[in-house]
Amino acid sequence: MAADLRAIRADITALDVDGIVNAANNSLLGGGGVDGAIHRAAGPELLEACRKLAGCETGDAKITPGFRLPARYVIHTVGPVWHGGERGEPERLASCYRRSLAVALEHGLRSLAFPSISTGVYGYPIERAASIAVDTVYAITRDRNDLTSIVFCCFSAGDLAVYQAILDDLPDR
Ligand code: ADP
């Protein structure tokens, strides 16, 4: 049975799932937006764990424990900065979702929540980013039974509507 894909509006730091994904920056040493919220909620141990990872390439993903979060793990990925779409942004954004899922599977995670990577400070247009997010995750999870639940965690009602429309258009649901 394929994983259940759904969009919700929530603070990702409150979600009780195996893993939450962090939209981090290359240093992995914390930032604003969802990154700052995750570090605040997880506690200072998260920054210590991130230091040991020595950064992360754009499009890659690395894992730490969740510390004080309800989630057991945090998967830190680095989305591309939007420069108009001709500088490899779609491929790199898709890579964030692919690599995050691969790392999750390597660690036996079954439920995962993603924020809307790159669509905050990094400026990626929400409709384009959400299509890549949903298409990439759907293509990977539709034929597997080791991931049970994928949540697209939206921070605004507008983002939720965009994700919901894309999910509603998926086949076999
Ligand atoms: P990026 O630098 O990758 O653009 P941001 O953190 O600026 O990352 O934004 C990514 C998305 O995360 C945005 O849609 C933003 O509104 C959202 N966001 C910010 N805080 C939270 C949170 N606590 N839970 C879920 N999403 C959040």
pLDDT in tens, 79-137: 999 999 999 999 999 999 999 999 999 999 999 999 999 999 999 999 999 999 999 99
Is the shortest distance between the CB of 79 and ligand 1 below 6 Å? yes
What CATH number should be reported for the domain holding residue 92?
A: 3.40.220.10
| Residue 143 domain-assigned (yes or no) | yes
Kindly report the protein residue whose alpha carbon is nearest to atom 19 of ligand 1. 34
Is the shortest distance between the CB of 34 and ligand 1 below 6 Å? yes
The predicted pLDDT at position 1 comes to: 63
Token match 């998967």: residue?
A: 75
Is the shortest distance between the CB of 119 and ligand 1 below 6 Å? yes
| Residue 171 domain-assigned (yes or no) | no
Cα distance from N-terminal residue to C-terminal residue, the chain: 12
The predicted pLDDT at position 165 comes to: 98
Residues 142 and 137: their CA atoms lie apart, in Å, by: 8
Q: Which atom of ligand 1 is nearest to the CA of 12?
A: 24
Is the shortest distance between the CB of 113 and ligand 1 below 6 Å? no
Residue type, position 146, single letter: D
Q: How many domains is the chain partitioned into structurally? A: 1
| Residue 85 domain-assigned (yes or no) | yes
pLDDT in tens, 157-168: 999 999 999 999
| Residue 170 domain-assigned (yes or no) | no
Cβ(113)–Cβ(14) below 8 Å:
no
Residues 59 and 95: their CA atoms lie apart, in Å, by: 5
With a cut of 70, say whether residue 26 has pLDDT above it: yes
For 25-169, list the strands marked E by DSSP: 61-65, 73-78, 111-114, 149-154
Question: CA nearest 60: which of 98, 30, 33, 31?
Answer: 98
Range of the structural domain that residue 16 is part of: 4-164
| Residue 169 domain-assigned (yes or no) | no
- Residue 173: band (very low, low, confident or very high) from pLDDT cuts 50, 70, 90: low
Residues 157 and 144: their CA atoms lie apart, in Å, by: 30
| Residue 173 domain-assigned (yes or no) | no
Catalytic residues: 35
Cβ(124)–Cβ(79) below 8 Å:
yes
